Amino acid sequence: MFGNTFGMKCVFRQTPKDVLFCSPDSRFTQQELPACKPILTPGLVMAAFLVLGLTFIPIGLSHLSASDNLNQQEDLLVWMRTATLPSFRKLYGRIEMDLEENEIINIVIQNNYNTYTFSGKKKLVISTTTWIGGKNDFLGRVYVTVGGICLLIAITYIIFYLVRPRPLGDPAYLSWNKVPASN
């Protein structure tokens, strides 16, 4: 693997079992676009290493064998996508099996890429998701709140219009027809 290596085991009632962290079915695959299919070949990458003076060895690309086809390695393609913000998360995979309550998950991480030199941090996030994605209710609550405020303002304007309607075409409401206040 090009980066960190993860190994997981679940322990429930003293019986360890392996956790399939990333099955081939649940991989987040790179979409293939016919016009811009990646042309990275092992020979091209190895030649680039020689030209760049082995700059990318800490990333772990040096561990790739020459027989690997780089545009087929989903882990590498996901990791090398550009992040939009300085703090980002890269999705590694999904746990495809059901976990019991009070189950202990032991995770062993082999650190193949140190971030200490530039004060970087790595974190492992395990989260639950729904069938439509991550569990984050913030945006839904904001949409409902703003929609409720807009509905309240609309109802207020309707009530004002029904109680004290403005007659159409009344010249008394024009600013140049108003009598100036006397001092």
Q: How far does Cα 64 stand from its chain's mean position?
A: 27
- Distances 138 to 63, 85, 129, 144, 175 between C-alpha atoms, Å: 42, 20, 15, 10, 46
> Residues 59, 147: one domain?
no
**Region 167-173: what's the mean pLDDT?**
77
> Residues 46, 11: one domain?
yes
> Residues 72, 108: one domain?
yes
Q: What DSSP string describes 2-47?
A: -S-EEEEEEEETTEEEE-----GGG--PPPP-GGG-----HHHHHH
pLDDT of 158 above 90: yes
Q: Residue 85 domain-assigned? A: yes
Q: Which of 69-73, 79-83, 101-105 has the lowest mean pLDDT?
A: 69-73
28-37, 56-65, 97-106, range with greatest mean pLDDT: 97-106
> Residues 103, 154: one domain?
no
> Residues 83, 157: one domain?
no
Q: Residue 123 domain-assigned? A: no
**Region 30-35: what's the mean pLDDT?**
46
pLDDT (0 to 100) of residue 153: 98
Tell which wins on pLDDT, 168 or 72.
168
Q: What are 124-150's pLDDT values in tens digits?
A: 777 766 655 566 677 788 899 999 999
Tell which wins on pLDDT, 68 or 127.
127
pLDDT (0 to 100) of residue 74: 67
**CA 121/CA 88 separation, integer angstroms:** 11
pTM of the predicted structure, to 2 decimals: 0.37
Number of domains making up the chain: 2
**CA 45/CA 1 separation, integer angstroms:** 16
Tokens standing for 27? Answer: 């991989």
Q: Which residues contact 166 (CB under 8 A, 6 or more apart)?
A: 173
pLDDT of 159 above 90: yes
**CA 32/CA 126 separation, integer angstroms:** 28
> Residues 68, 150: one domain?
no
Single-letter amino acid, residue 126: I
